[in-house]
Amino acid sequence: MLKALFFDMDGTLTRPYIDWQDLRQRVGVPQAMPIMAYIESLPPDQRPTAEAIVEAVEFEAAAYAELNPGTAELIAGLRACPLKLALITNSHRRAMDHIVDRFGLEFDLRLSREDAPLKPAPDLLLLALEKFNIGPAEAWFVGDGRYDQAASQAAGIRYLHLAHDGQTPEEAIAIHALEELWDHLQEAGIRQL
């Protein structure tokens, strides 16, 4: 039985804003390496500068981001359902909190990269399961990227992919707008009030 929904933030609840290529160049990240993994590989005296650049870009994105169509209505509607809601992001806590506060979104749990290793590792999702005291079969994760899908698969949680570009990754259920989530929830016995 479904008891919780987990949501990614950037690109899922908010429209994509960050120019990842520009950020990678500013920090000096090689193409094949994730940004935060690169920063962790830097000598300790170089990390604070790189982290500050990333956090500034993330906070700018939070300050100027727009919600994806239907986000506010979806979260408000879900608050009337018997489901726990978690926001799970690789972004830093200050940017996450700014988005939530700015748009008046309500979650039972908010987890950022300060809480556990980043997606694609499953740790943030596993931590959410632990906090809600539920198993993987009792949660779904809604995201928009390959790291979201990988983390979900590693945690054993059903993944729904918000397909901005119309492409559906292998082994993923695609939705093309957040409102489509209600169709899947109905199949699970959750009704929109």
Which of left, alpha, beta for 187 (phi over 0: left; psi -120 to 50: alpha)? alpha
Residues of the domain holding 114: 4-15+66-187
CATH number of the domain bearing residue 129: 3.40.50.1000
Tell me: do 73 and 167 sit in the same domain. Answer: yes
Tell me: do 37 and 72 sit in the same domain. Answer: no
> pLDDT tens digit string along 103-150?
999 999 999 999 999 999 999 999 999 999 999 999 999 999 999 999
Q: Is residue 193 part of a domain?
A: no
Tell me: do 89 and 132 sit in the same domain. Answer: yes
Model pLDDT, residue 191:
82
Sign (positive or negative) of CA dihedral 79, 124, 147, 188: negative
Q: Is residue 35 part of a domain?
A: yes
Global pTM value: 0.93
Model pLDDT, residue 164:
78
Nearby residues of 49 by Cβ (< 8 Å), 6 or more positions away: none
Task: Kindly report the average pLDDT of the chain as a whole number.
Answer: 94
Q: How many domains is the chain built from?
A: 2
Which CA distances in Å does 37 have to 32, 116, 122, 148?
Answer: 11, 14, 15, 16
